[in-house]
């Protein structure tokens, strides 16, 4: 039974959830459990160069945002509360992050560990990253820290792979795919397409995972990777992220560039991101190939209008309305 944990490596609840799940697995009598970590970014704007967390917390805007995360508590009170929960989970003896820094490279290291050594090596690296950030109060954005964590976990090549840029595009894509499947908080446990949010107790996570895995087996939920990628791109477009959707579509366009559905979705993404030249090129090809495609005519007509070519747009808009009245535009 595979459990995917989508979590940020600078999220205290991710570490707490990890320890709770481990305790649950120790007493679990069900099918074997395999845990895979996936990236989530709480703060995509966090700096690549670490800044002291105490300095950040003195910012009034940050203070306001943190109060919204823990109603009724000051940020200081909330940190005390989280520290107490962490100690109950067996984390410590000291507790508390000291640095505000991007977790992107830490996620790259975790992904690389999975690719090169499987879930066991990845778990050792993730444990090292969490411990360094929350217990040792180290900067897990620093190359030297990441290299040492990798070596301590038995991943001697980890630091060199990071320096070579490995995992860069893969982690960025995984963050998008998490967003596409509805991951909104850290941690989120995903099994068989079903999700459980929050640092739940280990037993609750395992009961959820067993039920989700069984439901997935009954329903035959497995779909080809290409179909899953296409659906996730559609979901990102629907969520207002056309550039993210285009990122997910990249491999499909490279491998299935002749597929009409893939090209039409790419054209829609270009329209939403105002890349009208790219959208027009695709749509002109589509209407030439299938003159009876009213939707493609409507999109092309709207693109031409936005480009200031009203006369060229009108035939496409009239044909779209004739083929399907719901495509009529004023």
Listed in sequence order, the residues at least 6 apart from 296 whose beta carbon sits closer than 8 Å to its beta carbon are 264, 267, 283, 286, 287, 290
The answer to whether residues 128 and 113 touch, using CB atoms and an 8 Å cutoff, is no
Q: For the chain, how long is the longest CA-to-CA vector? A: 73
**Domains assigned to the chain:** 2-217 (3.40.30.10), 225-327 (1.25.40.10)
Per-residue model confidence as pLDDT tens digits over 143-173: 999 999 999 999 999 999 999 999 999 999 9
Cα 18 to Cα 7: distance, rounded to the nearest angstrom: 10
Mean of per-residue pLDDT scores for the chain: 92
Predicted structure pTM score: 0.88
What whole-number distance in Å separates Cα of residue 169 and Cα of residue 11? 22
Cα–Cα distance measured from residue 212 to residue 206, given in angstroms and rounded to the nearest whole number = 10
pLDDT for 175-225, tens place per residue? 999 999 989 999 999 998 899 999 999 999 999 999 999 988 888 766 789
Tell me: pLDDT of 250 over 60.
yes
Residue 57 pLDDT > 90, yes or no?
A: no
Read off the tokens for 13: 């609840």
Q: Residue 68 and residue 58: Cα distance in Å, rounded?
A: 16
pLDDT digits (tens, 9 = 90+) for 254-313: 999 899 999 999 999 999 999 999 999 999 999 999 999 999 999 999 999 999 999 999
Q: Is the pLDDT of residue 70 over 90?
A: no
The DSSP H or E segment spanning 231 is helix 225-238
For 89-121, write each residue's pLDDT tens digit.
999 888 989 999 999 999 999 999 999 999 999
Residue 238: pLDDT over 80 = yes
**Nearest-angstrom CA–CA distance, 220 and 192:** 10
Rounded to whole angstroms, the Cα distance separating 51 from 42 reads: 16
265 SS3 class: helix
């Amino acid at each position: 039974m595979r459990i995917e944990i989508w979590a940020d490596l600078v999220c205290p609840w991710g570490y707490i959830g990890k320890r709770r799940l481990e305790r649950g697995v120790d007493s679990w009598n069900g099918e074997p459990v395999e845990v895979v970590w996936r990236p989530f970014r709480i703060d995509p704007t966090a700096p690549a160069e670490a800044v002291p967390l105490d300095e950040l917390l003195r910012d009034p805007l940050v203070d306001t945002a943190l109060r919204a995360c823990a109603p009724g508590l000051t940020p200081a009170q909330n940190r005390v509360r989280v520290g107490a929960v962490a100690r109950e989970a067996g984390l410590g003896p000291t507790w508390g992050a000291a640095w505000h820094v991007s977790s992107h490279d830490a996620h790259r290291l975790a992904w690389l560990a999975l690719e090169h050594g499987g879930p066991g090596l990845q778990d050792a690296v993730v444990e090292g990253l969490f411990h360094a950030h929350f217990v040792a109060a180290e900067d897990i954005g620093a190359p030297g820290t990441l290299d040492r964590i990798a070596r301590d976990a038995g991943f001697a090549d980890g630091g060199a792979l990071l320096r070579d840029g490995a995992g860069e595009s893969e982690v960025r894509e995984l963050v998008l795919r998490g967003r596409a499947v509805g991951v909104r908080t850290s941690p989120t446990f995903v099994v068989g397409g079903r999700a459980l949010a929050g640092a739940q107790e280990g037993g609750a996570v395992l009961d959820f995972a067993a039920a989700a895995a069984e439901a997935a087996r009954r329903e035959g939920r497995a779909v080809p990777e290409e179909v899953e990628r296409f659906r996730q791109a559609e979901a990102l477009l629907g969520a207002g992220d056309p550039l993210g959707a285009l990122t997910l579509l990249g491999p499909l366009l490279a491998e299935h560039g002749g597929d009409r559905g893939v090209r039409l979705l790419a054209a829609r993404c270009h329209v939403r991101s105002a890349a009208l030249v790219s959208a027009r090129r695709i749509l002109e090809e589509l209407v030439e190939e299938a003159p009876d495609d009213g939707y493609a005519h409507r999109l092309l007509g709207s693109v031409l209008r936005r480009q200031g070519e009203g006369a060229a747009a009108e035939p496409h808009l009239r044909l779209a309305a004739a083929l399907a009245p719901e495509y009529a535009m004023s």
